[in-house]
Amino acid sequence: MAAEGLRPATLAAQALGWVDEATRAIIPPLHPATTFLRDPDNQFRSGRIYGRDDSPAYDQAEALLAALEGGEGALVFASGNAAAAALFQALAPGDHVIAPAVMYWGLRAWLRDHAVRWGLEVSFLPEMTAAALSAVLRVGRTKLIWVETPANPTWAITDIAAVAALARAHGARVCVDNTAATPVLTRPLALGADYVMHSATKYLNGHSDVVAGALVTALRDAAWDKVRAVRRAGGAVLGPFEAWLLVRGMRTLYLRVSQACRSAERIAGHLAAHPRVAAVLYPGLPGHPGHAIAKAQMTGGFGGTLSIRVAGGEMAAVAVAARTTVFKRATSLGGVESLIEHRASIEGAGSSAPPDLLRLSVGIEDTEDLIADLDQALSDATGR
């Protein structure tokens, strides 16, 4: 086990310092087993019964996630949406939940199209402020408030501590989608949240080769047992190799996020003065409406993702993305490579993304190469 008192960056780099007891290897073994030997009296004293929920492949990833987020427990899932869905499915029919109107589109669509069939009532708020929440909170019925901050793809900021305090006063719980910030920049549980969700596909893995999700809880209680039961029964579990790759990726989490933040802040400042950029959406800019809150609850940077609104509208934005060469036109974020995407056309009907918006996920390439790539892509035919 890891020594007490080590900083999170050290815990991540050494994956808690675990060593395989059988071989003394410092890299964890891969455990593909799906079933485990019973004791002679038919008991399972090893604690392992079946791979769907008791796989040793999950142990290190879940322990590391809990440590980095400061929680009592963690669960890994087959995807970020599977992780989020498990938390909602652990609620009861008739329960009321609140979510932001601007959030990851895949989860918003799931809440809109599927959660209601589970008997949940969902309210989407344009702004996750105390005043807006107070207007829709239902004492005794509102069970979960979903927060995404910074919120994809406009990077709006929500005051986690304020939402958590309001939720506690009304008997509700709060889950924060911490995918974009990661525990490197924000630790929602320390700010009063009850749960943290990650699309571990993104920064936690960081290499664009794993689809995974995770939930971390502040407390191991009856509500957490229900979430674990949903995973066990539903079977949306992570494969052993994917769990191994997730641990591999988290070892460099702090280095990757730190570099991405430095480059993103430099790019945001550069593009804020560009004549072909109508607006830069990045909480690290002093003019961003959520800058003050972000500065208070994010440490070490403001994230490696930003969006720009291109002067000239939708077709101009699509044309800019078509001209990039270092930035690759692809969905996702948080990888070592920089990506650019026209969100409205990807999300389709009902997208909250303005049609002139391009989302940028900044990787770990040289910052000046990234800026030069964007500059040439933004230049019109006359070179301006």
pLDDT value for 45: 85
Q: Tell me, yes or no, if 282 is annotated catalytic.
A: no
Residue 381 pLDDT: 38
The architecture (CATH level 2) of 8-250 comes to: 3-Layer(aba) Sandwich (3.40)
User: Residue 22 corresponds to which amino acid?
Assistant: A
**pLDDT for position 44:** 85
220 given a catalytic annotation = no
Residue among 52, 226, 228, 323 flagged as catalytic: 52
Q: How far is 160 from 263, CA to CA, in rounded Å?
A: 26
Give the largest Cα separation in the chain, rounded. 81
21 exposed, middle or buried (CB, 10 Å; 0-12, 13-18, 19+)?
exposed
Amino acid occupying residue 282: Y
12: CB partners within 8 A, 6+ apart:
64, 68, 250, 251, 252, 253, 254
Contact indicator for 58, 102 with CB cutoff of 8 Å: no
| Bridge partners, 196 (sequence order) | 176, 216
Collapsed DSSP state (helix, strand, coil) of residue 358: strand
Q: What is the DSSP string of 238-279?
A: PPHHHHHHHHHHHTTHHHHHHHHHHHHHHHHHHHHT-TTEEE
**Phi/psi at 307 (5° precision):** -130, 150
The reported pTM is 0.95
Catalytic annotation on 202? yes
Indicate which residue of 95, 177, 194, 373 is catalytic.
177
Of 104, 195, 254, 282, which residue is the catalytic one? 104
How is the chain split into domains, by residue range? Answer: 8-250, 254-378
Q: Residue 220: its pLDDT value, please? A: 98
CA–CA distances in Å: residue 37 to residues 22, 23, 43, 45, 52: 18, 21, 9, 10, 15
The catalytic residue among 187, 202, 248, 359 is 202
Q: Taking a C-beta distance cutoff of 8 angstroms, is the pair 310, 278 a contact?
A: yes
Residue pLDDT tens, the chain, 384 long: 445 789 999 999 999 999 999 999 999 999 999 999 999 999 888 888 888 888 999 999 999 999 999 999 999 999 999 999 999 999 999 999 999 999 999 999 999 999 988 899 999 999 999 999 999 999 999 999 999 999 999 999 999 999 999 999 999 999 999 999 999 999 999 999 999 999 999 999 999 999 999 999 999 999 999 999 999 999 999 999 999 999 999 999 999 999 999 999 999 999 999 999 999 999 999 999 999 999 999 999 999 999 999 999 999 999 999 999 999 999 999 999 999 999 999 888 778 889 999 999 999 999 999 999 999 999 963 344
Question: Catalytic residue at 328?
Answer: no
| Per-residue pLDDT, 380 | 65
Tell me if 365 sits within 8 A of 337, measured CB to CB. yes
- CATH of range 254-378; options 3.40.630.10, 1.20.140.10, 3.40.50.720, 3.90.1150.10: 3.90.1150.10
The residues near 52 (Cβ < 8 Å, ≥ 6 apart) are: 34, 232, 235, 237
| Two structure tokens written together for 34 | 């799906």
The span from the CA of 370 to the CA of 337, in Å, is 11
* Residue keyed to tokens 């390439």: 365
- Report the C-alpha gap between 161 and 148 in whole angstroms: 13
ω into residue 150 within 30 of 0, thus cis? yes
Compute CA distances 297 → 220, 300, 301, whole Å: 25, 10, 10
